[in-house]
Structure 1
Amino acid sequence: MLLTERPEPTGARKRHRRILPGPSLATRPFEGAALLDELEGTRGALFTWARDVALWVQTPPDQRSGLFWPDAPRVLDLQGPSARAAAALRGLWTHPESVRSAAVAEACTSISEWAENEGGLASTAIYFAELAASASEDDALLALAAGRVNRRYAVYERARHWYERGIDLARAHADRPAQAAGYLSWGNMEFQRGRHASARRFFVRAWRTARKFHLREEGGAARHNLMTLALERGKFDEAQDHALAAFGFYGRQHGRMPYFAHDVAQLWAWQRFYSAAYPVFLAAVPLITHPKERIKLLANLGRAAAGLGESQVFFDAWQGVTAYVPRPNEHLAEAYVNIGEGALLLGLAAQAHDVGSRALALARERGESSTEAQAEALLSKVRTPTAPLVPLEPPDTVKALSRWLLQTLQERAAPSM
C-alpha cells in the first residue's frame, strides 16, 4: 500500500497555448549587412537605423536607459522614408527606455512600405517589416505583414514562420479577424507555390472562421480566394459560385472591389467569355494604378482584347507590360503568360514564344509552380499550333454579374460632384 494517497485530478488543467517565437533577425555576416548592398547615398543611414532598432528590440526594457549616445551624429533627413519615421526613431535615440513599441513598429512599417514601393530594395523591405513585428511582439497583424513581405520576395520559409506566429498570436488573443487573415495569407503563399491542396485547406479554415464569427470582409476574401483556386484547377462552375458569394459579402463599396472584379473577369477570360471579361478589365484600368498590379491587369486586358480581335488594344497592353522594368514580383511571370496567350490568339507565335520563355524562367526562379505550368502550356501550344479557339457566348449568370461589376467600377471611377 502506498504511504501517500494517490493524487487525483482536481479539475480541468488550464491550457497554455504555445506561441511560436519570431525567427531571428538576419545577422550574417553582421546585423543588417544585406541592406548595404541596396542602399546608396543618404539612404545608407537606414542601415544605422536598422541596427539601432535591432539593438533596442533585443535589449530587455529595464536595461534600455542610456542605450544610445543621444548626441551621436545621425542622418535624419532622408529622401524617401516619411518624416514621421524619423521622428519616432529620434525618440528611440533620446529616450530609449520610454519610447512606445507601437511608435517604433509604425516607423519600421512605413520604411518597409517605402522600400517595397521603390522596387529593388527587397532586403530593406523584409528587414524593417521584421523589425516592426519584433518591436511590437504581441501584434498578430504585424507578424502576418512580415510574412507577406517575405512571400512577395519568394522567401517562403521565413514567410511560413511569420504566418504561424501571427496565427498563434491571433488565437491566443481571440483576434478572429487576424486569425482568418493569417489563414488567407498562408493559403496565398501555398497557392503561389502551386500547392493547391494545402492552399485550399487554409482558405477553407479562413472561411469557417469567418462564418463562425460573422466576419463579412474575411468571409468575402475567403470565397474570393477559393474562386481563384477553383479557376486555377479548371473548376469553372465552382469558381462562379464562389464569385457570386464573394460579391455578396464584399458589397459594392468595398475597397478591394476593382481587384475582385479583375479576378472574376480573369475567370471568364479563361473560359473564352471575352465579351463579359473585356469591359470589366477596361473599367478597372483607371482604378488599379500600382505598377506591379497594373502589369497583370494590362496583360489580362490584352488577352481579352485579342480574343475579340481588338488588335490595337492588345498592342497597347503589350507595350505597357513589356515596358515595365522587370523587377521580380509575384505578378510579372503570370503577366507574361497572359500577354503571350493574347499574342497566340492573334497568330503572333514568335512573340508568344518570347514572353512565354521569360515567364518560364522567372516562375522557376521564384518557385511559382502554377505559373511555371502555365508558361510550359503556352510554349507547348506555340510548338504545336492549332486553329485559334473562338470566343464563347457567356451564360446569363455571367452576363448579369458582368453588368453588376461594370456598373460598380464605373461608379467608383466617376468624379464626385
Structure 2
Amino acid sequence: MPSQPRQHRIPPPPAALDRLRVLEQVESTTGLVLWRALVDVRLWAAAPDERRILFHAPNADVRERYALARAETPELAPALGTFGLLLQAPDLLDAAQLAEACALVHEWADGRGLYMTSLLFAEAAAYAEPDNPARANLAARTARMVMEYDRVSAWHLRAHKLSVRAKNDGEKVSALIGYGAMMKATGRYAEARRFFQRAANKATETGRRKEAGMAHHDLASIAVEVGDFRLAELHTSAALPLYPNDHARIPALAHDFAFALIRQHHYTAALYLLERVVPLIRRPEEQAVVISSLAWAAAGAGRLNRLAEAERTAAELVGIFDEYGPAVFIHLAEGWRACAEWERADRYADAALRAAERRKEAHLAREAANLRETIRQRGRPERDTQPGPRTRAVLRDVSARLGRWKQAPG
C-alpha cells in the first residue's frame, strides 16, 4: 500500500455505488427486497443515534414482498429475516449480525455470476461493520472481479490500516496479497511482486503457512508472466508444502504451473496435468480459462480432436462468464496458430484484442495485438519439447499434491 505519514489514520470507505444495479441483475421480488435492504443497511450504519426514527415496522405490502422473496430464494431466508428485523426493531441488531446477512447475499450472488450484486452486498457488509478489516478486504476482492480498481485500492488500503490498528496479522497479509493481485491484473508486475513478497515475508514471520503459500503462488504466477520460469518453479515448490492438502487454490496452482509448461513449449506435459485439473475447477469463469489452456496444450501436442472439443466448451463458457475473456481468446488463438489455421487464429486474436480494450486491460490488449501480428505473418510456435529433469521433478510434486487434494475433505 502507498505509505502514509500517520499509520493510525484510517482512510474512509469509498462512496456507495448505485444500488439500482441490483434491479438490473435480479428482476424479481427478491431483487426489489434486496434493493431496499441496501438502502436500509446504509441508513442503519450511517445514523446510529436515529435508528428508531428512521425505521418503522413494515406494512402488509412490505411483509408480503418479504414472504414472496423468501419463497423465491429460500437460501437467502436468514438474510431476509435479518433485513426484516432491521425494519421492525433496528436496536436489536448489532453490526456483526447485519454484516453477516449482507455477506450471505454476497455469497449467493457470487455463486450465480451476479458480480455487481455481489459487490454491492460485500460493500454493504463493510459499511455495516466498519471496524472489521475482513469486511473491507472482502469488498476489495469483490471489486476486483468487476474491475472497479479505484475501489479495490481504497478498500484494501482501509483494510490494511484497520488490521494494523487491530493487530490482525492475517488480514494485514490478505490486504497485501489483494493489493498485489490488483497490480497484477493491471499489468504492473514489478509493483505486484513487491506486495506479494511483503505478504510472503509477513506470513512467514507470523507463522501463517497457508497465507505464505498463497503469496508464493502469486509470485510464481508473476514469474510466468514475465518469462522467468526457473523462478516460477522455485515459488511453486515453495507454495506446495505450505498449502494444506484441501486448500482451494491447489488446482489453480497446478493450472498455473501447467501454463508455465505451455509457455516453454512442453505441451504434452502440460496436457497431462491439465486433464487432471479441469474436473476440479468449479467456478465457470475459471473453467473457461483452464479449458482454453488445455486447448492450447492439446494443439501443441498434436491432439487436434481434443483442441476442438476444448474450444467448444471454453467458447460456450466465456460467452456467459467473460471475466477472463481476453485470456481465453488468446489461448484459443495460440492453439489454432499451432495448427496453422490462420483465419481461425486471427479471429480469436481479434476477439481477444477487442475484449481486452473493452475491459481496459492494456497489457492483454498489447499481447493480443502482438499475437495478431504474428498470426498475420504466419509465425508458427516451436514444436513440442520434453521438460528437463528439474522441471519434471516439480511436475511430479504438483501432480502428487493434486492427487491428494482430490481425496481431501471439502
- TM-based fold match above 0.5: yes
Are 1:317 and 2:310 an aligned pair? yes
Give the match for residue 51 of structure 2: 64
- Residue of 375, 378, 382 corresponding to 2:371: 378
Identity %: 30
Please give the per-residue CA displacement for 1:18-47, whole angstroms capped at 9, x wherever unaligned: 1111112136xxxx2333333312122221
Whole-angstrom CA distance in 2 between matches of 1:150 and 1:277: 32
Is residue 103 of structure 2 the alignment partner of residue 109 of structure 1?
Answer: yes
2:243 aligned with 1:246: no
- Which of the pair has more CA radius of gyration? 1
Aligned letter for 2:47?
T
Preserved contact between residue 66 and residue 96 of structure 1 (Cα < 8 Å)? no
Question: How many Å separate the matches in 2 of 1:388 and 1:235?
Answer: 19
1:90 aligns with 2:84: yes
Letter of the 2:238 partner, please give it. A
Q: Give me the whole-angstrom Cα distance separating, in 2, the residues matched to 1:45 and 1:337.
A: 41
For residues 363 and 88 of structure 1, the distance between their equivalents in structure 2, rounded to whole angstroms, comes to 40
| Partner AA of 2:389 in structure 1 | D
| Shift in alpha-carbon separation, 1:325–1:307, aligned structure 2, 3 A | closer
Tell me the equivalent position of 1:148: 141
- Most deviating of 294-303 and 343-352: 343-352
State whether residues 338 and 380 of structure 2, in contact with CA within 8 Å, keep that contact through their aligned partners in structure 1: no
Q: Secondary structure at the match of 1:137?
A: coil
Say if 1:140 and 1:195 are closer, same or farther in 2 by CA, change over 3 A.
Answer: same
Contact 1:152 1:329 in 2 (8 A): no
1:129 aligns with one of 122, 130, 155: 122
Matched, 1:178 2:171: yes
1:196 aligns with 2:189: yes
| Aligned residue number for residue 132 of structure 2 | 139
2:396 to 392, 398, 403: 403
Quick one: distance in 2 between partners of 1:85 and 1:138?
21
Q: CA deviation at 1:296?
A: 0.7
SS at match of 2:182: helix
Could you tell me the TM-score, scaled by structure 1's length?
0.90
> CA–CA distance in 2 between the matches of 1:271 and 1:115?
38
Alignment partner of 2:41 out of 47, 53, 59 = 53
Cα deviation 1:113-161 (Å, max 9, x = unaligned): 3223333x44322221111111011111110111111111111111110
The answer as to 2:347 corresponding to 1:363 is no
Q: Confirm or deny: 8 A CA contact 1:129 1:146 kept in the other structure.
A: yes
* CA-to-aligned-CA distance 1:52-86 (integer Å, 9 cap, x gap): 111111112x3322532213232224234621111
**Contact 1:67–1:96 (8 Å) recurs in 2:** no
Q: Gaps spanning 5+ residues in structure 1: where?
A: 1-14
The match for 1:12 is: none
Aligned to 2:3: none
Give the equivalent residue in structure 2 for 1:352. 345
CA RMSD of aligned residues (A): 2.0
Which residue identity does 1:18 align to in structure 2? R
**Range that drifts further, 159-168 or 405-414:** 405-414
CA contact (8 A) 2:22 2:116 kept: yes
- Residue 265 (structure 1) aligns with: 258
**Cα distance in 2 for residues equivalent to 1:257 and 1:49:** 37
d(CA) in 2 for partners of 1:20, 1:64: 25
Structure-2 separation of matches of 1:255 and 1:325: 22
Aligned residue identity for 1:33? L
CA distance in 2, matches of 1:251, 1:268: 24
Displacement of 1:414 after TM fit? Answer: 5.4
> Are the counterparts in 1 of residues 259 and 293 from structure 2 also a CA contact under 8 Å?
yes
* Cα distance in 1 between the residues matched to 2:402 and 2:184: 27
Listed one character per residue, the Cα deviations across residues 159-194 of structure 1 (whole Å, up to 9, x for unaligned) are 110110011111111111111111111111111111
For residues 204 and 415 of structure 1, what CA distance do their matches in structure 2 show?
29
Q: Mind listing any 5+ residue stretches in structure 2 that lack a counterpart?
A: 1-5
Q: After TM superposition, give the deviation of residue 375 of structure 1 in Å.
A: 1.2
Partner of 1:8: none
Higher share in helix: 2
Correspondence for 1:10: none
Aligned equivalents of 2:24 and 2:249: distance in 1?
A: 35
**1:307 is matched with which residue: 300, 303, 315?**
300
Aligned residue-pair number? 396
Candidates 215, 223, 239, aligned match of 1:230: 223
Aligned to 1:213: 206
Query: Contact 2:292/2:331 (CA < 8 Å) preserved in 1?
Result: yes
Q: So what's the TM-score if we normalise by structure 2? A: 0.91
State the alpha-carbon separation in 2 of the partners of residues 415 and 180 from structure 1: 26
Q: 1:275 to 1:160 in 2, by over 3 A?
A: same
Q: Describe how 1:14-29 pairs up with structure 2 within 5 A.
A: 17-26=8-17
Task: For 1:95 and 1:288, locate their aligned partners in 2 and report how far apart those are by CA, in whole Å.
Answer: 43
Question: 2:235 & 2:25 partners in 1: Cα distance?
Answer: 42
* Correspondence 1:35 to 2:29: no
Listed one character per residue, the Cα deviations across residues 316-362 of structure 1 (whole Å, up to 9, x for unaligned) are 11001111253464322111111211111112211111111111111
By how many angstroms is 1:404 displaced? 2.6
User: CA separation of 1:16/1:280 partners in 2, compared to 1, >3 Å: closer, same or farther?
Assistant: closer
Matched AA of 1:126: L
* CA shift digits 1:216-247 (9 cap, x unpaired): 11111111111111111111111111111111
